[in-house]
Chains A and B, each alone.
Chain A
Amino acid sequence: MRPFYENLPFFTIFAAILCGVITAVIRSGRTAYLLSLWMCGAITAASGVLVYFLYTGGVSFTYTMGRFAAPFGNAIKAGPLQALMALMFAVVMGLSLLGGSRDLFHDILPQKQNLYFVMTDLLLAGLLSLNYTNDMFTGYVFIEITTIAACAMVMAKDTGSNMIATIRYLFMSLLGSGLFLIGLTLLNGITGYLLMPPLAQILRLLANSGDYHTVLVVSMGLLVVGLGIKAAMFPFHLWLPDAHGGATTASSAILSGLVLKGYIMLLITLMLRVFGMELFDAAGINALLLALGLLGMVFGSLAAMREYHVKRMLADSSVAQIGYIFMGLGLGNASGVVAACFHILVHAACKPLLFCCAGRLSAVSGHHRSLRNLRGSAYRDVTAGVGFTVGALSMIGIPLLGGFVSKLFLSEAAVGSEMMVPVLLVIALSSVLNALYYVPAILAIWVHPPAEDAAEVLADVTAEALTFDRSFFISAVSFIALIFVLGILYHPVINILSAGVRLT
């Protein structure tokens, strides 16, 4: 008899899909919203239990779906890393919905609100599956589900510029999944398998014998570039600022905080479980990831510096943060991957907090978005001001906050590798650049503007917007706590991640 907790990954995915289906027939947006929150809570609890059992037991397991045994059929594989990521996905999803709820019910037409939650539920199902899957083709199918759900979430706020942003996002995503699919086809053509463990076995044989070397390298490149396009890796990030910056608050938070991470988790799985680090190294994929990561860290920040629209600035900053993650993966050693995973967690906590706070700050400033009009807005909602400040400081890398720890571990992973000097230099440069746009933003929200400007902005503010937003308060406080936990009590998290990377 296998232990009961092995059912949990499947149950969480199934619960998310089921809630999505049920939500489709619920009329009221409020009920759908509550159902989504409860679902996130339940998945959080289940994933927490799973993390506990897998970490204390030091095991990972394969859960076969249906009656077909390997090498056919379909399977889920979960270890501490996957369970922790699932926990994070559910927590961040729930908190983002909480934090953006007022904007959400303001921005979306009442008769369509329940459909928005169909998308968030299916998105969570997609992310969990990308995280847990042990089968390449299942990965592809859920990539597409995640894409459609994410696009629908961008266009939920029904404005013209959002629709154009969505269509650009959609086409870039389709290109990414097309490349992924053809890479997958080539890989299936030379190995004959889709399930990851037998695939990895054959790939090891192929790598040793040198047969089909070109096909192997090409398919690896296609898979990585395909996922890279979807995860906004540096030259493929042009769709991101419009899509993430224009959407409603909760969508921006979820897209930046989670959706990009789902694809990266699949990439990490490919790297650790299917191809193996040596093969990635030999084919030059690591060098590619490292170079593009470093470029993204610099150019993302440069783009953010030119932005005056606060949410687009945050979206551009996501490109830089994703650069950190790719850089960590590109270092090609286990500590680099652990550091990258830690940065995934940190970014998943900081960026939704920043987006929720930015959304709240602009709500108390008459829905103006430019930093100029947000001057002094922190005094109108102090929680949002504090949250924005904490998130921004964490992004810059101030000690005691999560961002500092991930930069520390990324630097540590780079020490000793041959790319040590450029990596450390770019981390330093990128931190300075981060400070160059986050510090002015923090100053802007805390400095009182001249009286006539303030009066002009305040004229647009409704009294309702200024009332205390309880769900936002809960969400912001939880996010801030999460960032401090990651910044101070990082040892257990790093231990779980290292165990997870070893057991993937």
Chain B
Amino acid sequence: MLERILENRFAIVAVILFGVGLLNMMLRFNLLKKVIGFSIMDSAIFLLLASLGYIEGHTAPIVQEGSVNAALYINPIPSGLVLTGIVVSVSVTAFSLALIQRIYKRYGTIELDELLERAKKEED
């Protein structure tokens, strides 16, 4: 049992983090906390992705002086994906933060329930 937990430690941590992020994103009314929840969720996925490519005892795949021995290196593709994923996540976070800032300037609050109420009042 303990061995299995140790073996899958990355996956377990990733699942817990994903849950934390997801709940934050879904249940919080504060927009900023939602964004933080989203960031945690994405980080959890990146952890899982990076751990998939990791092979115990192998090093980063930096080829030196033409000696290519694939048995020495970890799988580089998931790391590349994590890099791309981080770029995507950063841009999305930047976009949502900019949006939240504008909402704050307009309404003076970033609580979603208050915002929805006010928007409804404006419409009537």
- A positions within 8 Å CB-CB of B: 72, 137, 140-141, 144, 147-148, 151-152, 155, 160-161, 163-164, 166-168, 170-171, 174-175, 178, 181-182, 185, 188-189, 194
Residue in A72, A164, A182, A188 whose beta carbon sits within 8 Å of that of B119 in the complex: A164
Report yes or no: B38 in contact with A178, Cβ–Cβ below 8 A: yes
Given contacts A141-B84, A144-B92, A171 and B25 within 8 Å (CB-CB): yes
Chain B contributes a number of interface residues (CB within 8 A of A) equal to 36
Q: Is the CB of A148 within 8 A of B42?
A: no
A141 neighbours in B (Cβ, 8 Å): 84, 88
Question: Closest CB of chain B to A160's CB: distance in Å?
Answer: 5
**A178: which of B42, B96, B99 is its contact (CB, 8 Å)?**
B42
B96 near A160 with CB under 8 A, answer no
**Do A174 and B77 touch across chains, with their CB atoms under 8 A apart?**
no
User: B84's closest neighbor in chain A, by CB?
Assistant: A141
Besides the known contacts A147-B92, A160-B119, A170-B99, 4 further A-B residue pairs in the complex with CB atoms under 8 A apart:
A167-B100, A167-B103, A171-B96, A189-B48
Q: Which of B's residues lie within 8 Å of A, judged by CB?
A: 18, 22, 25-26, 31, 34, 38, 41-42, 45, 48-49, 52, 77-78, 81, 84-85, 88, 91-92, 95-96, 99-100, 102-103, 106-107, 112, 115-116, 118-119, 122-123
Q: Do the beta carbons of B99 and A166 come within 8 Å of each other?
A: yes
- Contact B99 A161, beta carbon cutoff 8 Å: no
Cα–Cα distance between A439 and B95 once the two chains are bound (Å): 41
Residue pairs across A and B with Cβ atoms less than 8 A apart, 23 shown, are A137-B81, A141-B88, A144-B88, A147-B92, A151-B99, A161-B119, A164-B119, A166-B99, A167-B31, A170-B99, A174-B92, A174-B96, A175-B26, A178-B38, A178-B45, A181-B42, A181-B45, A182-B18, A182-B45, A182-B48, A185-B45, A185-B49, A188-B81
Residues of chain A within 8 A (CB-CB) of B48 are 182, 185, 189
CA distance A189 to B49 in the complex (A): 8
Are B41 and A178 in contact, CB atoms less than 8 angstroms apart? Answer: yes
Residues of the A chain whose Cβ atoms lie less than 8 Å from the Cβ of B52: 185, 188-189
The 3 closest A-B pairs by CB, nearest first: A161-B119, A144-B88, A189-B52
